């Protein structure tokens, strides 16, 4: 599963956990702790998937998703990874959702399903 993945999360522990899980599966993982850094990283090409936390300072996951869809359209799959319960999440234009806290299996299953 050699895919290029970007993880955007302001929680360093969650970011590190997701990065570790995906790297063990052979993914090339980049990370950003906020939307501005993510937009900079996404100037590079070749990402297959973006994992986005919803609750972040400055630029929420919703705002970031909207900006990324304008820029990348649907070339790149996007999954929300959030503490916000799924039934409260605006799922418009997103490819999947993973509830925090999550098991490695839950994250990997959703990533494989979406890709």
Residue 55 is part of a domain; what is its CATH number?
Answer: 3.40.50.2300
pLDDT (tens digit per residue) in 31-77: 999 999 999 999 888 999 999 999 998 899 999 999 999 988 888 99
CA distances to 8, 20, 30, 113 from 66, in Å: 14, 27, 20, 22
pTM of the model: 0.95
Q: Chain-wide mean pLDDT for the chain?
A: 94
CB-based burial label for 7 (10 Å; 0-12, 13-18, 19+):
buried
Domain limits at 88? Answer: 4-114
83 and 55 in contact (C-beta within 8 Å)?
A: yes
Structurally, how many domains does the chain consist of? 1
Give the pair of three-digit tokens for residue 85.
């319960």
Q: Give the mean pLDDT of 15-20.
A: 98
């Amino acid at each position: 599963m050699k895919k290029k993945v970007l993880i955007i999360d302001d929680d360093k522990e969650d970011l590190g956990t997701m990065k570790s899980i995906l790297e063990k599966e052979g993914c090339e993982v980049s990370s950003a702790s906020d939307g501005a850094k993510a937009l900079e990283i996404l100037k590079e090409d070749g990402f297959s998937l973006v994992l986005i936390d919803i609750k972040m300072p400055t630029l929420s996951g919703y705002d970031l998703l909207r900006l990324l869809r304008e820029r990348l359209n649907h070339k790149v799959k996007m999954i929300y990874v959030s503490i916000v319960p799924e039934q409260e999440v605006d799922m418009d234009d997103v490819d999947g959702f993973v509830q925090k806290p999550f098991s490695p299996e839950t994250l990997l299953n959703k990533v494989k399903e979406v890709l």
